């Protein structure tokens, strides 16, 4: 298998160098997976536009989807990154572990979201009617459904990129699920 080296700022295009600078200013680092995206002249900018676009979902809801899908896809990098982000958004360690399993017993609305995201990710969009019904019964809308699917698509991209590149994880390692 090809070994992917994490590119440095000097090894990427001038437009990606600007994005590296912006990331360092904004979050204090260029995550290795983002740097891997910079192997393409356009992918990093496209990804950042997608991942930071306006959405009907709150930050915690996006993190639920990110955590569930990353677990479904066995992405150690994204599990680690989103465990850290989940904590920054107020989830406890125990809640994050439960969310990664596809549930959120501590909040009925989040539970419906986690179950929907897990079913959608595992079954490639073929979500069970009862899971969709519970999603809507929890108060989610058609707009939310579309936005959840967009977050799933975002996460599938990063999960697959990590699976192929195996760049070093530069976040605290997420614990394994029991």
Question: Which residue ranges form the domains of the chain, and what is each CATH number?
Answer: 9-51 (no CATH), 59-165 (1.20.1290.10)
The reported pLDDT for the residue numbered 178 is 78
Q: What is the 3-state secondary structure (H, E, C) of 45-106?
A: HHHHHHHCCCCCCCHHHHHHHHHHHHHHCCCHHHHHHHHHHHHHCCCCHHHHHHHHCCCCCC
What's the pLDDT at 3?
76
Residue 114's pLDDT is what?
A: 98
Whether 40 shows a pLDDT value over 90: the answer reads yes
pLDDT in tens, 70-127: 999 999 999 999 999 999 999 999 999 999 999 999 999 999 999 999 999 999 999 9
Q: Taking the CA atoms of 54, 60, 65 and 71 in sequence, report the sign of the dihedral they define.
A: positive
| Res. 163: pLDDT tops 70 | yes
CA dihedral of residues 42, 45, 74, 88 (deg, nearest 10) = 170
Q: Is 49 exposed, middle or buried (0-12, 13-18, 19+ CB in 10 A)?
A: exposed
In the chain, pLDDT over 90 holds for what percent of residues?
97
- Kindly state the average pLDDT of the residues 138-157: 98
The per-residue pLDDT of the chain, averaged, comes to: 97
* 10 vs 16: CA distance, rounded Å: 10
pTM check: above 0.85: yes
Residue 1 has pLDDT above 90, yes or no: no
| Predicted local distance difference test score (pLDDT) of residue 88 | 96
């Amino acid at each position: 298998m090809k070994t992917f080296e994490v590119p440095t700022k000097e090894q990427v295009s001038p437009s990606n160098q600007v994005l590296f600078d912006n990331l360092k200013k904004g979050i204090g680092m260029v995550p290795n997976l983002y740097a891997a995206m910079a192997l393409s002249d356009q992918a990093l900018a496209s990804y950042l536009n997608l991942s930071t676009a306006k959405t009907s979902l709150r930050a915690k809801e996006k993190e639920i989807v990110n955590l569930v899908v990353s677990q479904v896809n066995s992405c150690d990098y994204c599990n680690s990154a989103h465990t850290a982000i989940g904590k920054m958004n107020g989830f406890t360690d125990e809640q994050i572990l439960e969310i990664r399993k596809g549930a959120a017993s501590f909040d009925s609305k989040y539970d419906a979201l986690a179950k929907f995201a897990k079913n959608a990710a595992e079954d490639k969009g073929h979500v069970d009617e009862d899971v969709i019904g519970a999603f809507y019964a929890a108060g989610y809308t058609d707009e939310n459904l579309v936005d959840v699917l967009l977050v799933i698509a975002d996460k599938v991209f990063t999960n697959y990129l990590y699976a192929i590149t195996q760049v070093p994880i530069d976040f605290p390692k997420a614990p394994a699920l029991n």
